[in-house]
Amino acid sequence: MNKQEAIEIIEQSKIKIANRGRVIFKAGEIIVENVQVDYVPLEVVVNTIDQIHEPQKVVVPKFIADSIEYCKNEEGYGLLRAMDYCDEYNDTGEWLERPENQETFACAWLFGYEIKQEKLYTVEIPDPNRPDIATFLYKENGKVFIGTDIFLDEVPNYKWKNEPENQLTESEIKEDFEWAWQFREEVD
């Protein structure tokens, strides 16, 4: 939150409690004015002030978060060396080429970050000749495989789509099964 936003919050929280007379001595004259007296709860003021210098956490892709954690915790790198390290690899290097991402990386390094949730997909490979079987991609121990589910009553059952191991990211699917990307369905 910036200073102007803090002022707006405090202004909106004012409670009018009275009008009072105020005496002003100006150039040898005595002037009496009515002044509105406002009250702002201390809790509102303190909470607002606490947020002024709190930098907003930026949102970064998981692969950038993984790189930041590796550089900070495993290697003990500083910001510049971490950016150099990330620039050496395809996915992080391409991401860092954009100037706005360089700033995002620096903010994530300095102030923390949230991980952008990647979209998840299920992939069912169609087989019009076998309505009693679902053939799909699933993940086990970090690798993606082709699996099947047999329906004994020959009625398709799509419960397999709700299982976490059958919900994959785009990069997981395309790593070994790019040809199957055409059969993806986004998980709700």
pLDDT tens-place string over residues 70-89: 999 888 899 999 999 888 87
The residue ranking higher by pLDDT, 176 or 156, is: 176
Q: What angle, 0 to 180 degrees and rounded to 10, lies between the N-to-C axes of helices 42-52 and 3-12? A: 170
- pLDDT of 60 > 70? The answer is yes
Distance CA 89, CA 82 (A): 12
pLDDT tens-place string over residues 139-168: 998 899 999 888 776 666 778 888 999 999
Distance CA 61, CA 113 (A): 10
- pLDDT of 98 > 70? The answer is yes
The angle at the Cα of 151, spanning 148 to 152, to the nearest 5 degrees, equals 135
CB 104 within 8 Å of CB 55 = no
Distance CA 14, CA 79 (A): 43
Distance CA 1, CA 6 (A): 7
- Domain edges within the chain: 3-52, 58-115, 121-186
- pLDDT of 53 > 80? The answer is no
In terms of Cβ atoms closer than 10 Å to its own Cβ (0-12, 13-18, 19+), residue 58 is buried
